[in-house]
Amino acid sequence: MSQTDDHTNNDQVDNGHVNNDHVNNYRRKFLGQLAAVTATGALGSGLVLNNFAQARPADEAVSSNVRYGLLIDTSKCGNGCDACVKACNDENGLQGFDRPETDAQWIRTVKLRDKSTNRTVSLPMMCQHCEFPPCVDVCPTGASFKRADGIVLVDKHLCIGCRYCMMACPYKARSFIHEELTGQVQGIPRGKGTVESCTLCVHRVDKGETPACVEACAKDGHKALIFGDLKDASSEIALRISKEASMQVRGDLKLNPGVRYQGI
């Protein structure tokens, strides 16, 4: 396996900054064009990129001026819809072996029924990209790590498969790879005997794109998922969180997840 994207990023943490204020709105409007722009940008100058999007050139460090997160509006979440789950599986090549107990699931639909009122809610659940991630605290080798921009990842070269992070995660966000994998997607390092979880589509985010689940949800017309920079006061996600009620799952644990929910 070659050097992974996430590891490269880890090595570069805190080496520099990306100036991306005010860029978010712009980016949303031109999402369609972005793939092309960033592809060119990744090869060429970082300056161009910064002007158009918050994409980060490969030689520039992940910035701690950014904190990526998701806002999930469960009232918009379509009943029985699993577009986000499908998109994640396709994007990251999680085809599974038809063994639900051991197959990897980075994102899943959770159905809730309020025991007192019978109201039902359906929501996507994935790694919450905690600010104080217990998985990172317990990991003996440091394979679990948090990037400066808040994305929590597993370095597949350091993971020894002890599964302590799975014991520690309050959201059951992680999967252990129980068997040999074939036909993996290039650039998404995975392997038998190691642990993995939602990467917030770091490979897309670094190109200035949104995670696959967010894109799929928007394409289906639900727009239940919003991705963005929580630290950028002008971003849609930050604006909505500052105006509307939202909550963190198991907020009592004070892990400050980057994923927020509405309508639970």
Partner 1 sequence: MAKIHYREIEGNSINYYILLGFFAVIIAIALAATYYMEHNGHHVTGMTNQIVWGVPHVFAVFLIVAASGALNVASIASVFGKTAYKPLAPLSGLVAIALLMGGLSVLVLDLGRPDRLIVAMTNYNFKSIFAWNIFLYNGFLVIVGVYLWMMMEHRMNKYSKAVGFAAFTWRLILTTGTGSIFGFLVARQSYDAAIMAPMFILMSFSFGMAIFILILMGSYAGTGRPLGTAVLSRLKNLLGVFVAAVLLIVAIFHLTNLYATEHHGFEQFILLNGGIYTFLFWGVQILLGSLIPLFLLYSPATRESALWITISCVLVITGGLAQMYGIIIGGQAFPLNMFPGFEVSSSFFDGVVNHYSPSMPEIALGVGGVAIALIMVTIGIKVLRFLPLSLDDAIVDPHYKPATEETAESEATA
* Beta strands 68-73; 225-229: pairing state: antiparallel
Count CA atoms within 13 Å of residue 142 on its CB side.
4
CA atoms of 203 and 209, how far apart (whole Å): 9
Q: Which is nearer to partner 1, 166 or 239 (CB)?
A: 166
Window 21 to 50, contacts with ligand SF4 (CB under 6 A): none
Task: Please give the single-letter amino acid code of residue 255.
Answer: L
> How many other C-beta atoms are found inside a 10 Å radius of the C-beta of residue 18?
20
What burial letters (b/e) apply to 169-197, b meaning 16+ CB within 10 Å?
bebebbbbbeeeeeeeeeebbbeeebbbb
CA atoms of 243 and 264, how far apart (whole Å): 17
Residue 133 binds which one of partner 1, ligand SF4, none, with CB within 5 to 8 A depending on kind?
Answer: ligand SF4
Residue 28 binds which one of ligand SF4, partner 1, none, with CB within 5 to 8 A depending on kind?
Answer: none
125 binds ligand SF4 (CB under 6 A): no
Binder of ligand SF4 out of 7, 129, 190, 207 (CB under 6 A): 129
CA atoms of 105 and 174, how far apart (whole Å): 8
Q: Which is nearer to partner 1, 68 or 171 (CB)?
A: 171
**Which positions lie near partner 1, rule CB under 8 A?**
97, 99-105, 108-116, 121, 125, 134, 136-143, 157-164, 166-172, 174-180, 192-195, 249-250, 253, 264
Residue 197 binds which one of ligand SF4, partner 1, none, with CB within 5 to 8 A depending on kind?
Answer: ligand SF4
151 binds ligand SF4 (CB under 6 A): no
Q: Rule CB under 6 A: which residues touch ligand SF4?
A: 127-130, 133-135, 138-141, 143-144, 152, 154, 159-165, 169, 171, 173-174, 195, 197
